[in-house]
Amino acid sequence: MTMKRIIKNISVIAVLMVFTLTSCTEDLNIVPNDDDTLLGSELYEDEAAYERVIAGVYANLALTGTGGPESSNIEGIDAGTSQFGRVLLYLQTLTADQMIWSYENDPGTRELQRNIWTAQNPMILGMYSRTHLTIALANNFLRETTAAKLDSRGVSESTRADIIEYRAEARLLRALSYYYMMDLFGKANFGTEANAVNTVLPVAERAELFEFIESELLDIESDLVDAGQNQYGRADKGVAYMILAKIYLNAEVYTGTPRYADCMNYCQQLLSSGYVLATEYKHNFQADNNLNSATGEVIFPIISDGSTTQNYGPTTVMINGSVGSLEVNGAEVGVSEAAWGGAIRVRKEFAQLWEGGNFIDDDRNTIISANRPIGITDISDPNQGYIIQKYSNMSSDGVAGIDQTFVDTDFPLFRLADVHLMYAEAHLRGGGGTITEAVNLVNALRTRANNPNTISNGDLTLPFILDERARELHWEAHRRQDLIRFGLFTGGNYNWAWKGNGSNGIAIPAHLNLFPIPSLSMSSNPNLSQNPGY
């Protein structure tokens, strides 16, 4: 049984589980919306529950509540501003140079895409809260699966063997959550299963988080399933290697010490772990990307299903958001004809990366320009700016997803193409490897995209890598992180349309490299201090 099916089957129990954690997540101000949803430790008396409960930790990456897409299991936090993949996309992509959201009356979006956010932004609160909730869920699972508790329940040896893997996965998902806290906020409320409940959590700063993430992933490696060999949607060694590669690539930002050789080491491990590029670029972003050739490339997805796990996740947002203009009919991408009225477009700087003859037939170039202007002088006008059709609710066989709003397309959080580009960048930054292999890995992506304009050794430079990452990985929640690593997110060395609330872009202060700690979280945990500049 795949994790996609498991999440479907246990979504209600999984999300209700969070209400057992109120006492150990005071920093989130979580309050049960319905006393009947409270579940106690008696749940674990059923041996079949352990699989369902670990799937619940995964489910928190996709779901926001049990009452459908509009429901939220965290009081005071809206479902639309707290779905993990969606708020991750907004914080990593909408704040940078690739995406514009038309409807600025949607809470939080105006401030994010104009780089004028504050500690009251609901999207920032949604990311902070949802990520900490994953940590709390993982901690609860680990508390309930100690050897002593399994002994007291008489759990069978066969189930115990499975629980070894489940515990490693819970620790990995916790490390993943702390990775995003480290990247986005530079600190986090820090708790493990060892922390007593009903206590206010201490706070870990960036260096401490980095050390914890690294040590956790190294410690659990032997208990994880081999890379690419777990059930679809479940984490394995490949996901651990990917997180390690990412933290090492960005280590100079996080700790002040470059770790490019370590990044190269894990890129090489991933490249030798049996992953293969999808036969077609678009397979990674279609409704059957859990079944088509993308299964060889996607290292870790966020599950989406149009029937039983309906939510306003990133693929639902991006697919519906590209529809509604005169140029795009919903039937082409498997959603309703009108959809969301041209909600999302691209900024001109991203569109300009595709100009010239080298990218006219590149499969990654899904820009639709028609008679539209490339620039956006009025964000509220959906007819300004180019649009793209990267994601689709159509399968590789041309069959539409089961629902015309909530899509079946899983979000590729990590995929092999990123490893190709990380290898090339780590090599250029002195991490080892060879120039021949770096060029070959970049050219493999171009060849897969049917782009005959392959590169030679002299073409491989850091500015080239930054642009090629945008062409390959746009709208996959990497761009802000990339621009920060290249020193281009804040300051005025690179300005894009509407950066800093200027139509042509203006310099923004360095403190915006980190998001503020949400005001609600500050008031709930006296150990928290605000990031500088806010």
pLDDT for 37: 29
Q: What is the pLDDT of residue 40?
A: 56
* Distance, CA of 76 to CA of 520 (rounded, Å): 10
Mean pLDDT for the stretch of residues 263-277: 98
Crossing angle of the two packed helices 462-473 and 416-428, in degrees rounded to 10: 170
CA distances from 204 to 47, 127, 191, 243, 527 (A): 35, 17, 9, 19, 10
Residues with Cβ within 8 Å of 188's Cβ and at least 6 positions away in sequence, in order, are 131, 132, 135, 178, 181, 182, 203, 204, 209
- Per-residue pLDDT band at 274 (split at 50, 70, 90): very high
End-to-end CA, the chain: 47
Return the pLDDT at 25: 42
C-alpha dist (Å) from residue 260 to 106, 251, 460: 40, 8, 17
CB 216 within 8 A of CB 190: no
Q: What is the mean pLDDT of residues 212-219?
A: 98
Answer yes or no: is pLDDT of 7 > 70. Answer: no
Say which residue the tokens 């806010």 belong to: 534
Condensed to tens digits (0 to 9), the pLDDT of residues 394-433 reads 999 999 999 999 999 999 999 999 999 999 999 999 999 9
Residue 353 has pLDDT above 90, yes or no: yes
Residue-wise pLDDT tens digits, 130-161: 999 999 999 999 999 999 999 999 999 999 99
pLDDT at site 502: 97
Q: Is the dihedral of CA 311, 302, 285, 292 positive or negative?
A: negative
- Surface-to-core class of residue 435, CB atoms within 10 Å of its CB (0-12 exposed, 13-18 middle, 19+ buried): middle
pLDDT tens digit string along 492-527?
999 999 999 999 999 999 999 999 999 999 988 999
Q: Is 357 left (phi over 0), alpha (psi -120 to 50) or beta?
A: alpha
| Cα gap 172→238, rounded to integer Å | 11
C-alpha separations of 230 from 50, 104, 222, 300 in Å = 17, 41, 14, 11
CA distances from 175 to 18, 132, 184, 514 (A): 18, 11, 14, 19
Q: Which residues of 216-240 are buried (b: 16+ CB within 10 A; e: fewer)?
A: bbeebeeebbebbebebbbbbbbbb
Over the stretch 318-347, which tens digit does the pLDDT of each residue have? 999 988 666 778 889 999 887 788 899 999
pLDDT confidence of residue 456: 98
Q: What percentage of the chain exceeds 70 in pLDDT?
A: 91
Which residues are CB-neighbours of 198 under 8 A, at least 6 positions away? 23, 24, 26
Determine the pLDDT at residue 6: 52
Mean pLDDT of the chain: 91
> At residue 307, does pLDDT exceed 50?
yes
Q: SS in 3 state form for 342-396?
A: CCEECCHHHHHCCCCHHHCCCCCCCEECCCCCCCCCCCCCCCCCCEECCCCCECC
Rounded Cα distance, 15 and 21, in Å: 11
With contact defined as beta carbons under 8 Å apart, do 182 and 188 qualify? yes
pLDDT at 308: 83
Predicted local distance difference test score (pLDDT) of residue 22: 36
Alpha carbon distance 162, 502 (integer Å): 54
Lowest-confidence segment of 199-203, 234-238, 503-507 by average pLDDT: 199-203
- C-alpha 244/C-alpha 249 separation (Å) is 8
The confidence score (pLDDT) of residue 33 equals 37
pLDDT in tens, 14-53: 444 443 333 334 443 433 333 332 345 678 888 989 998 9
- Element housing 201 (H / E): none
pLDDT-wise least confident of 100-104, 323-327, 370-374, 480-484: 323-327
Alpha carbons 385 and 379: distance in angstroms, whole number? 9
pTM for this model (two decimals): 0.94
Average pLDDT over residues 268-273: 98
CA–CA dist 144, 156 (Å, integer): 15
Model confidence at 3, pLDDT cuts 50, 70, 90, reads low
